[in-house]
């Protein structure tokens, strides 16, 4: 057995404590944007506004290439804010003002305290929700956006006080997607029905298998879209702070406030969040408890469907991934119930790692590669992977939020058929955190 699967040990890491529900609501941010006003805002010949003589610029739908607007010679010197929200404005009014300034010319946005540690692309999505996310990523990659005068990557984290330069864009007004009161009520009721935990800052959902977390090509129904039904009086929408694959069921953490989003995202990045997954895999690992450590890189299949491959250290796009596993129970030599603790959070990490050690997850269409293997009767050919438990510090109090998700219907059926007891002791809690 290789060095990458040595036995896991360490002190038991089960967190305790009850989640706090209180906390003072932070007031709305005064999001005054320091714009570079164009000279066209002044008076032209014979007292007529210069803007009336400017040639019309074709409006662009977000997601297309930007039209280059002529830059005003004195714009950089004025620093006057354009269409700034009035003092004391709500967040919705601030966003509307920010959207208006985007079409007027180059703007400089100042990162506020409650936006600290946000990714650059997510920061712009929050400030300008009418811009397509793919369009934002494209202008960042092209170097049209600058942070403190320097080019920045889409995933760069921001700090309070930093200045983000936004290029001039002409946008075509797009009506917001129609959302009827009935649809909002249905989505809110559905989210309520799958809620495992909720307080003023945090929501933990029991995401069903088959429900996407975010939208994509051909995906119309997803958790992120449903969260529109939970916007508060200030127009603030709950935010995703981590992801689950579409076919993975279980605990999904949602931030209900910007403060919670920033704090929870930091907990995931610093590995302060403990995650435990359950899986039904083919075969039985010879090493009952172990560690899988590889580098993973994305590869595009011929059909355009991306998957992760085990790569060598130094390969382009390769990231280190570590997973601890423990055998909980087995059905002869055919199937095993594994408990998994990912230390890192790479795309498809658990699916790629179980396949790498020769025990792919049952029902996995991407990574199940055992030849001449037949699905036992009564077991559904669906991904048998559950985000069983999440333990994460509360964003305000630091006390542990400890939430457990039940087995989804198809996995419960398999557990019943194989005689597995879901209340059995899970040895993965003894695995190290690093």
Euclidean distance between CA atoms 119 and 124, whole angstroms: 9
Residue 336 CB contacts under 8 Å (≥ 6 apart), including other chains: 280, 281, 282, 283, 284, 285, 327, 329, 330, 359
What pLDDT is attached to residue 29? 42
What pLDDT is attached to residue 382? 97
- The highest-level CATH class for domain 1-22+193-434 is alpha beta
What pLDDT is attached to residue 53? 42
Cα dihedral 22, 26, 27, 32, rounded to 10, equals -160
Give the total residue count for the chain.
434
At residue 401, φ and ψ (nearest 5 deg) are: -95, 120
What pLDDT is attached to residue 123? 83
Question: If you ran DSSP here, which 8-state letter would residue 62 be given?
Answer: B
What pLDDT is attached to residue 303? 59
Give the residue numbers annotated as catalytic, written as ranges. 245
Tokens of 406: 């039940």
Over the Cα atoms of the chain, what is R_g? 25
pLDDT per position as a tens digit, 152-182: 887 788 888 899 888 876 554 455 566 788 9
Residue 298: how many CB atoms within 10 A of its CB?
Answer: 15
What pLDDT is attached to residue 93? 64
Alpha helix (H) residue ranges in 198-300? 223-226, 258-269
At residue 290, φ and ψ (nearest 5 deg) are: -160, -175
What pLDDT is attached to residue 83? 45
What pLDDT is attached to residue 245? 93
Residue 216: how many CB atoms within 10 A of its CB?
Answer: 10
Tokens of 277: 């997954």
For residue 396, give Cα distances in angstroms to 17, 20, 22, 196, 234.
Answer: 14, 8, 8, 19, 21
Domain boundaries, the chain: 1-22+193-434, 34-166
Cα dihedral 87, 91, 96, 97, rounded to 10, equals 30
Euclidean distance between CA atoms 251 and 253, whole angstroms: 7
Name the pTM for this structure: 0.66
The domain covering 34-166 belongs, at the CATH homologous superfamily level, to RNA-binding S4 domain (3.10.290.10)
Instruction: Report residue 176 CA to chain centroid gap.
Output: 22
Ranges of residues in the chain with a pLDDT under 50 are 1-84, 172-173
What pLDDT is attached to residue 18? 41
The answer to whether 291 touches 363, Cβ cutoff 8 Å, is no
């Amino acid at each position: 057995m290789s060095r990458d699967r040595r036995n896991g040990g360490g002190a038991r890491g089960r967190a305790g404590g009850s989640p706090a529900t209180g906390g003072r609501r932070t007031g709305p941010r005064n999001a005054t944007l320091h714009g570079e006003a164009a000279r066209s805002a002044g008076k032209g010949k014979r007292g007529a506004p210069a803007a009336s003589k400017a040639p019309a610029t074709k409006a662009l739908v977000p997601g297309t290439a930007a039209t280059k607007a002529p830059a005003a010679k004195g714009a950089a010197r004025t620093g006057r804010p354009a269409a700034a929200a009035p003092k004391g404005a709500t967040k919705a009014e601030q966003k509307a003002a920010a959207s208006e300034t985007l079409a007027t010319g180059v703007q400089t946005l100042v990162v506020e305290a409650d936006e600290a540690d946000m990714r650059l692309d997510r920061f712009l999505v929050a400030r300008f929700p009418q811009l397509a996310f793919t369009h934002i990523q494209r202008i960042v990659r092209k170097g049209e956006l600058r942070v403190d005068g320097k080019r920045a990557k889409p995933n760069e984290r921001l700090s309070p006080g930093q200045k983000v330069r936004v290029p001039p864009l002409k946008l075509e007004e797009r009506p917001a997607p129609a959302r009827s009161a009935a649809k909002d009520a249905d989505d809110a009721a559905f989210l309520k029905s799958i809620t495992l935990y909720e307080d003023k800052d945090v929501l933990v959902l029991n995401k069903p298998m088959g429900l996407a977390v975010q939208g994509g090509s051909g995906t119309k129904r997803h958790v992120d879209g449903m969260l529109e039904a939970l916007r508060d009086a200030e127009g603030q929408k709950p935010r995703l702070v981590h992801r689950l694959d579409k076919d993975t069921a279980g605990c999904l953490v949602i931030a209900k406030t910007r403060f919670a989003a920033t704090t929870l995202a930091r907990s995931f990045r610093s590995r302060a969040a403990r995650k435990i997954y359950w899986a039904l895999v083919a075969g039985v690992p010879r090493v009952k408890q172990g560690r899988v450590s590889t580098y993973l890189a994305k590869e595009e299949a011929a059909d355009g469907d991306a998957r992760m491959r085990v790569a060598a250290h130094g390969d382009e796009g390769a990231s280190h991934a570590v997973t601890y596993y423990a055998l909980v129970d087995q059905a002869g030599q055919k199937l095993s119930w594994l408990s998994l603790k990912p230390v890192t959070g790479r795309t498809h990490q658990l699916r790629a790692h179980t396949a790498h050690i020769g025990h792919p997850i049952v029902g996995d269409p991407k990574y199940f590669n055992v030849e001449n293997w037949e699905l036992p009767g009564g077991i559904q050919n669906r991904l048998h992977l559950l985000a069983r438990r999440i333990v994460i510090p509360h964003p305000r109090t630091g006390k542990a939020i400890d939430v457990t998700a039940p087995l989804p219907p198809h996995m419960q059926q398999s557990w019943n058929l194989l005689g597995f007891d879901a209340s059995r002791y899970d040895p993965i809690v003894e695995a190290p955190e690093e």
